Amino acid sequence: MLAEEHDANVDLVLIGILLMDIKLSEAIKMNKRPEHTKMSSDFAKEFLKDYDLTDEERKIIINSIEAHHGKVPFESIEAEVCANADCYRFIHPLGVFTTAEMLAKRDLPFQEQLKNCYKEIYM
């Protein structure tokens, strides 16, 4: 819906969403969660070589992956839609509880967990 609402390429958004966290589980198992975006991007660069995409389409998909946490500038509306779609999972009650559980595993004091949960949901 977001992609359609903002005249983004729906297919590129879906591909970006499917690939943006593809290496998240592996990164967590390796205790390298902050590196999951780079790992996912590296994977996608290789994976996408097997598909008939233009250079511009590949660039949009890779930027969607690399920018989905806001640390890299969005270069397209598709990248921005992917990042926003990733955030929407936190506004559902299940997303809130999942976030709270994830933060609890980081051994932070409870007040710090609440602050971080608030940031994940509202910022």
- Condensed to tens digits (0 to 9), the pLDDT of residues 20-34 reads 999 998 998 999 988
Domain range spanning residue 121? 92-123
Do 70 and 106 have their domain in common? no
Indicate if 44 and 98 belong to the same structural domain.
Answer: no
Residue 96 pLDDT class (50, 70, 90 cuts): low
Q: Does 104 lie in the same domain as 78?
A: no
pLDDT tens-digit map of 72-87:
999 999 999 999 888 7
* One domain for residues 55 and 108: no
The H-or-E segment that residue 82 falls in is helix 77-88
DSSP state letter for 75: -
Does residue 99 sit in the same domain as residue 43?
A: no
- What's the pLDDT at 108? 72
Q: Do residue 65 and residue 52 come from a single domain?
A: yes
- 28 and 74 in a single domain? The answer is yes
C-alpha to C-alpha distances, 19 to 12, 111, 123, nearest whole angstrom: 11, 33, 23
For the chain, the domain total comes to 2
Q: Mean per-residue pLDDT for 88-97?
A: 67
Residues 46, 65 within the same domain: yes
Q: Are residues 98 and 38 in the same domain?
A: no
Residue located via tokens 């589980």: 25
Contact 41, 66 (CB under 8 A): yes
